[in-house]
């Protein structure tokens, strides 16, 4: 059976990996130059516990289960995942009633370890929290992760197990004959398929319509963020701090990042559904003022003079505020769209469900491969080695001793390895190695990375782009 997947974000990547466990042909179509560069690239990077989702929703069905699956998944894919827990803070009697309701909801959703803490326990755990806090909901299973690494690692593992990845490949049309998917038309040719899974993120409704399946419209919800320098502000909080949620979402959080920084965000601004707004990741003064006000309420001592980066991400929102996952009226066409928060958390569970759903809907039983290898190893980070061991490696491999990114101590060998694994852009290197994630945000190493990319790819440095062909870096020489 030939199964195609549209979109290589976290959801699509994990579906591809799950399918690669079986004796089927798997094709992954991604319109960007790299995987994980859409919704997956810019979000809060939280693995949610599952107390926020209303029982009976698709979100509730997959969130707590997906959370649990990350323990094994992160080990198999060798990606950093930390269960640091989360606190939903209440500052009034009204907010206290909200967290009590969240507690009950979480129990119904099967979330383990939930507790309601009083002020003393909160401040003992998080001394930088506003001392006017009354109580908080503690969820120990909540965690932090690098979301793009989920997509990168899952695709690497899927490809190792036989999946075929087609980057810079945009699906233009879906050919349906006698109510059955037959092939997809892309900018790089046509592909015969028996099954097509739509995991196209912000463009999920567009792809669904190509197959003749009307679905709920998707519109982008913009979230702006502020990142604080780990060198200046690392350790400010130990857990994910949430306000009590509103109708627009879980609210502005203050959280550690996986590499030790502090992230504040997001805002929640609904944008129109037109195509141009689905790429609008601009940031605003109003957004940052909003974030700072919200952060100061929870953590009055936070210092935004330590900010090193501001950015925005887009989430795929639908009128029902729920996932659209499963079979459709067109045989062989399946949706995995509308995966707004907690889509990242739910992704492993959605992937597992999708394999079962395809088999049931198509009336087949997949044969599991005897040689499936679930293990993927990360790019080696030399700075974590003992100095004497590192020195021995450098004598045999000088590239392992050439520090390119001074902030995060990323070597030329790591960058070359990222390119070997598929990085073709500056962002591709950045998200695989953490180069350019430090205090200078690429100010001192960006040009070095461009030169290494050009050398390894055999192209001129002017051909190197940040993310895709719309994000050129060099436009010409200043002088000849």
Phi-psi region of 440 (alpha: psi -120 to 50; beta: other; left: phi over 0): alpha
Q: What is the pLDDT of residue 249?
A: 73
pLDDT at 476: 82
Over pLDDT 70: what percentage of the chain? Answer: 100
**220, 202 in Cβ contact below 8 A?**
yes
pLDDT beyond 90 at 374: yes
pTM: 0.97
Strand partners, 165: 28
- Residue pair 43/221 in contact (Cβ under 8 Å)? The answer is no
Distance CA 320, CA 323 (A): 8
Backbone torsions φ then ψ of 48, nearest 5 degrees: -75, 155
Q: Residue 250: its pLDDT value, please?
A: 86
Per-residue confidence at 403, pLDDT binned at 50, 70, 90? very high
| Domain positions in the chain | 1-81+143-217+318-378, 86-140+219-314, 382-463
Query: In whole angstroms, what is the distance from residue 3 CA to residue 12 CA?
Result: 12
Rounded average pLDDT over 446-474: 96
Residue 192 host element (H or E): strand 189-192
- Cα–Cα distance, 433 to 410 (Å, whole number): 7
Q: Report the distance separating Cα 167 and Cα 38, nearest Å.
A: 13
Mean pLDDT of 217-244: 96
How far apart, in whole angstroms, are the C-alpha atoms of residue 15 and residue 19? Answer: 6
Q: Which of 22, 56, 128, 105 is nearest to 365 (CA)?
A: 22
pLDDT band of residue 248 (cuts 50, 70, 90) is low
In this predicted structure, the answer to whether residue 247 has a pLDDT above a threshold of 80 is: no
Domains 1-81+143-217+318-378 and 86-140+219-314 share a fold: no
Protein fold of 86-140+219-314: D-Amino Acid Oxidase; Chain A, domain 2 (3.30.9)
Assign domain 1-81+143-217+318-378 to its CATH superfamily.
FAD/NAD(P)-binding domain (3.50.50.60)
**Residue 184 in contact with residue 175, Cβ under 8 Å?**
yes
d(CA 420, CA 431): 14
Residue 172's pLDDT is what? 98
Residues 273-318: tens digit of each pLDDT: 999 999 999 999 999 999 999 999 999 999 999 999 999 999 999 9
Q: Has 48 been annotated as catalytic? A: yes
Residue 36 scores a pLDDT above 80? yes
| C-alpha dihedral, 150 to 152 to 157 to 163, nearest 10° | 120
What is the percent of the chain where pLDDT is above 90? 96
Cβ neighbors of 68 (< 8 A, separation 6 or more) are 141
The pLDDT assigned to 478 comes to 84
Question: Residues 132-177: pLDDT tens digits?
Answer: 999 999 999 999 999 999 999 999 999 999 999 999 999 999 999 9
Of 66, 64, 71, whose CA–CA distance to 50 is shortest? Answer: 64
- Rounded mean pLDDT, 446-459: 98
Geometric angle at alpha carbon 343, from 338 and 348, rounded to 5°: 120
Residues 116 and 99: beta-carbon distance below 8 Å: yes
Q: What is the pLDDT of residue 233?
A: 87
**Residue 129: both structure tokens together:** 């929290």
- Within 13 A of 140's CA, how many CA atoms are on the CB side? 7
Average pLDDT, the chain: 97
Supply the DSSP string of 207-240, one letter for each residue.
Answer: HHHHTT------EEEEEEEEEE-HHHHTTS-SSE
Run of H or E residues at 47: strand 46-47
User: Residues 48, 125, 178, 447: which is the catalytic one?
Assistant: 48
Q: Does domain 382-463 have CATH number 1.10.10.410?
A: no
- In tens, the pLDDT along 467-480 reads 999 999 998 888 76
| Confidence at residue 477, expressed as pLDDT on a 0 to 100 scale | 83
What integer is the mean pLDDT of 70-96?
Answer: 98
CA distance 263 to 440: 16
Average pLDDT estimate for 51-56: 95
Lookup result for tokens 């005897």: 370
∠ CA 256-377-139, nearest 5°, is: 30
> What's the pLDDT at 189?
97
Average of pLDDT values for 183-188?
98
Intra-chain end-to-end CA distance of the chain, in Å? 56
């Amino acid at each position: 059976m030939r199964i195609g997947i549209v979109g290589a974000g976290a959801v699509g990547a994990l579906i591809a990996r799950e399918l690669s466990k079986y004796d089927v042909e798997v094709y992954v179509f991604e319109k960007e130059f790299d995987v994980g560069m859409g919704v997956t690239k810019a979000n809060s990077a939280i693995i949610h516990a599952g107390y926020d989702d209303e029982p009976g929703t698709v979100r509730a069905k997959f969130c707590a289960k997906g959370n649990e699956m990350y323990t094994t998944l992160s080990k198999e894919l060798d990606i950093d995942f930390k269960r640091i827990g989360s606190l939903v803070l209440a500052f009034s009697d009204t907010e206290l009633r909200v967290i009590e309701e969240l507690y009950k909801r979480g129990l119904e959703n099967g979330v383990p370890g939930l507790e309601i803490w009083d002020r003393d326990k909160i401040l003992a755990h998080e001394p930088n929290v506003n001392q006017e806090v009354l109580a908080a909901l503690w969820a120990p299973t909540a965690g932090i992760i690098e979301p793009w690494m989920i997509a990168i690692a899952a695709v690497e593992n899927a490809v190792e197990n036989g999946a075929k990845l087609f980057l810079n490949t945009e699906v233009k049309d879906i050919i349906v004959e006698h109510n059955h998917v037959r092939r997809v038309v892309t900018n790089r040719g046509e592909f015969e398929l028996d099954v097509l899974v739509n995991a196209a993120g912000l463009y999920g409704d567009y792809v669904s319509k190509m197959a003749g399946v009307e679905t709920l419209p998707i519109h982008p919800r913009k979230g702006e963020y502020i990142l604080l320098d780990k060198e200046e502000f690392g350790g400010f909080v130990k857990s994910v701090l949430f306000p009590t949620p509103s109708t627009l979402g879980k609210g502005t959080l203050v959280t550690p990042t996986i590499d030790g920084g502090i992230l504040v965000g997001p805002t929640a601004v609904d944008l129109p559904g037109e195509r141009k707004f689905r790429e609008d990741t601009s940031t605003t003064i109003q957004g940052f003022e909003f974030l700072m006000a919200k952060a100061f309420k929870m953590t009055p001592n936070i210092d935004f003079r330590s900010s090193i980066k501001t950015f925005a991400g887009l989430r795929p929102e639908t009128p029902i505020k729920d996932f659209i996952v499963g079979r459709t009226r067109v045989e062989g066409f399946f949706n995995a769209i509308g995966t707004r928060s907690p889509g990242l958390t739910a992704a492993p569970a959605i992937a597992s469900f999708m394999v079962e759903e395809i088999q049931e809907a198509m009336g087949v039983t997949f044969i599991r491969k005897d040689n499936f290898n679930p293990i993927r190893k990360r790019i080696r980070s030399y700075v974590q080695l003992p100095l004497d061991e590192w020195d021995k490696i450098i004598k045999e491999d000088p590239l392992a001793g050439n520090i390119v990114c001074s902030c995060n101590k990323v070597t030329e060998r790591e960058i070359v390895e990222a390119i070997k694994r598929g990085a073709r852009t500056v962002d591709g290197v950045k998200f695989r190695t953490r180069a350019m994630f430090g205090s200078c945000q690429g100010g001192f190493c960006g040009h070095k990375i461009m030169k290494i990319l050009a050398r390894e790819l055999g192209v001129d440095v002017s051909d190197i782009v940040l993310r895709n062909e719309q994000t050129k870096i060099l436009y010409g020489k200043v002088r000849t």
